[in-house]
């Protein structure tokens, strides 16, 4: 199905560019129109992307067998293999789920960028675009930094200690294999790892932008209902003002229904991704803290661990904060409806308007919550709880390890 927007605006243009960027990275078009790239490029790239996808899948699978083929691994390297293999596997699964749900995402983007523009507020849009750009800059920075840091660490060890360039440890080549072909394979593995990270970050950026957009739609609707009071400030007669107000309330209710439908689409498309990201966050943080206890306290050894932990916390935070803003903004809506000016209506108009406002407020009082896996509520409080739970799990594991050491002696 092909859609044709009636008009263009900054948010529509931004999402069009964003989905084009996602296509260039993942070869998946999430926009409701054909991608605006040369047909020859699209045809060649679609074929090439299958080959690149196969390489990424091979890398993800190969990391699980590294502990059986690689010999003389240090404790840090064993933990590193476990963390990267588990996290790579799960984030790729989450990426695959979103690609599978691309038609739902297309419908959601159409509703957000076209249908909801009937009552759009330019000031709200400017604030939204500023927040989106800030979140995207933060996501891209913290998302790529860990892999880049691992590359710098591997190059540093290769140049200073005569070791091999090692970033991701796969089944092959062996860590002590110093042949030229093995060195080339390690560079290819590193590039494939960067490609995997880029795939995941492109999908994450799309989900986060949609969440921010939905939060600002509730904020926009809040301003819309508050501004309805201005209808009665004009010089028009009372009857015409009441008619305009009644029509405006019906439009607001219609837009509220569309926004709620978009929230349900987001839940349906991304509930597994939200929940999976939380699980990955907890597991990765626990393994990183264990790895930190096993490594030397040098800057070169600690930098990749600290930067990776920061990347995990910030990327998960962007996910959860953007979803939590939807709940926060939705909770303000009943107050705006109550103060929209219904008390200015008289006689039969007052009766009709009060029924409309009552219906709208009852609907708006239902808590709008995005949940991971349909269970974990996403909010600022839940983010703090998730970070604390990661440390709690690490404390239990570390205490058990210490107790086992004491019992041994």
- Enter the DSSP assignment of 175: T
Decide if 4 is inside a domain: no
Q: Which two tokens stand for residue 43?
A: 């045809």
Decide if 408 is inside a domain: no
pLDDT at residue 312 is higher than 70:
yes
Average of per-residue pLDDT across 155-174? 86
CB atoms inside a 10 Å sphere around CB 188: 12
pLDDT at residue 2 is higher than 60:
no
Please, what is the average pLDDT of the chain?
Answer: 86
Query: 3-class SS at 371?
Result: strand
pLDDT of residue 8: 59
Decide if 147 is inside a domain: yes
Candidates 173, 84, 306, 81; CA nearest to 165 is 173
Average of per-residue pLDDT across 304-324? 88
Tally the domains of the chain. 1
pLDDT of residue 279: 86
**What's the pLDDT band for 98 if we cut at 50, 70, 90?**
very high
Whether residue 331 contacts residue 369, with contact meaning beta carbons closer than 8 Å, is answered with: no
**What's the pLDDT band for 409 if we cut at 50, 70, 90?**
very low
pLDDT digits (tens, 9 = 90+) for 57-82: 999 998 888 878 888 788 878 888 88
Candidates 145, 344, 319; CA nearest to 240 is 344
**What's the pLDDT band for 163 if we cut at 50, 70, 90?**
confident
Cα-Cα-Cα-Cα dihedral sign, residues 169, 175, 178, 182: negative
pLDDT at residue 406 is higher than 60:
no
CA separation for the pair 131, 214 (Å, rounded) = 13
pLDDT digits (tens, 9 = 90+) for 323-345: 999 999 999 999 999 999 898 88
Decide if 3 is inside a domain: no
pLDDT at residue 397 is higher than 70:
no
Average of per-residue pLDDT across 232-240? 83
pLDDT at residue 387 is higher than 80:
yes
Whether residue 26 contacts residue 196, with contact meaning beta carbons closer than 8 Å, is answered with: no
pLDDT of residue 121: 58
Whether residue 92 contacts residue 60, with contact meaning beta carbons closer than 8 Å, is answered with: yes
Q: Which two tokens stand for residue 137?
A: 């800059």
Average of per-residue pLDDT across 73-96? 87
pLDDT of residue 122: 59
* pTM: predicted TM-score of the whole model, two decimal places: 0.89
**What's the pLDDT band for 123 if we cut at 50, 70, 90?**
low
Q: In terms of residue numbers, what domain contains 121?
A: 10-403
Burial class (CB in 10 A: 0-12, 13-18, 19+), 316: buried
pLDDT at residue 3 is higher than 50:
no
Decide if 409 is inside a domain: no
Average of per-residue pLDDT across 153-164? 85
pLDDT of residue 400: 62
Decide if 77 is inside a domain: yes
Average of per-residue pLDDT across 294-315? 80
Average of per-residue pLDDT across 355-377? 89
pLDDT digits (tens, 9 = 90+) for 275-284: 888 888 888 8
For the chain, give the percent of residues with pLDDT over 70. Answer: 93
Cα-Cα-Cα-Cα dihedral sign, residues 216, 218, 219, 223: positive
Peptide bond into 173 cis (omega under 30): yes
pLDDT digits (tens, 9 = 90+) for 126-151: 888 889 999 999 999 988 888 898 88
Decide if 5 is inside a domain: no
pLDDT of residue 29: 94
pLDDT at residue 53 is higher than 80:
yes
| Interior angle at CA 101, CA 98 and CA 105, nearest 5 | 90
Decide if 238 is inside a domain: yes
pLDDT at residue 118 is higher than 70:
no
């Amino acid at each position: 199905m092909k859609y044709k927007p009636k008009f263009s605006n900054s948010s529509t243009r931004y999402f069009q560019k964003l989905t084009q960027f996602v296509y260039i990275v993942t070869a998946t078009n999430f926009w409701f129109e054909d991608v605006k790239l040369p047909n020859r490029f699209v045809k060649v790239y679609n074929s090439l992307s299958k080959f690149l996808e196969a390489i990424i899948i091979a890398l993800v699978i190969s990391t699980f067998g590294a502990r059986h083929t690689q010999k003389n691994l240090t404790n840090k390297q064993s933990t590193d293999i476990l963390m990267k293999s588990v996290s790579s596997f799960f984030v790729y699964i989450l990426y695959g789920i979103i690609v599978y749900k691309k038609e739902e995402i297309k419908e959601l983007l159409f509703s957000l960028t076209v249908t909801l523009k009937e009552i759009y507020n330019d000031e709200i849009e400017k604030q939204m675009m500023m927040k989106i750009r800030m979140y995207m800059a933060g996501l891209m920075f913290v998302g790529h930094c860990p892999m880049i840091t691992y590359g710098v660490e591997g190059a540093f060890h290769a140049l200073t200690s005569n070791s091999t360039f090692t970033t991701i440890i796969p089944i092959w080549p062996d860590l002590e294999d110093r042949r030229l072909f093995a060195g080339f394979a390690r560079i290819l593995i590193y590039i494939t790892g960067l490609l995997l990270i880029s795939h995941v970050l492109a999908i994450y950026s799309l989900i986060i932008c949609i969440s921010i957009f939905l939060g600002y739609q509730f904020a926009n609707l809040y301003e819309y209902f508050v501004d309805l009071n201005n209808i009665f400030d004009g010089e028009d007669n009372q009857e015409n003002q009441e008619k305009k107000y009644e029509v405006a309330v019906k439009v607001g209710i219609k837009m509220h229904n569309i926004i709620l439908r978009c929230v349900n689409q987001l839940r349906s498309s991304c509930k597994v991704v939200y929940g999976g990201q939380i699980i990955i966050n907890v597991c990765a943080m626990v393994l990183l803290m264990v790895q930190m206890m096993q490594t030397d306290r040098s800057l070169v050894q600690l930098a990749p661990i600290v930067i990776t932990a920061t990347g995990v916390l910030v990327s998960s935070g962007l996910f959860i904060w953007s979803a939590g803003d939807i709940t926060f903004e939705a909770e303000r809506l009943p107050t705006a409806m109550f103060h929209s000016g219904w008390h200015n209506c008289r006689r039969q108009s007052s009766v009709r308007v009060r029924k409309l406002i009552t219906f709208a407020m009852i609907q708006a009082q239902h808590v709008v919550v995005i949940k991971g896996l349909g269970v974990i509520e996403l909010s600022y409080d839940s983010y703090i709880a998730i970070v604390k739970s990661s440390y709690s799990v690490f404390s239990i594991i570390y205490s058990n390890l210490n107790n086992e050491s004491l019992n041994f002696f």
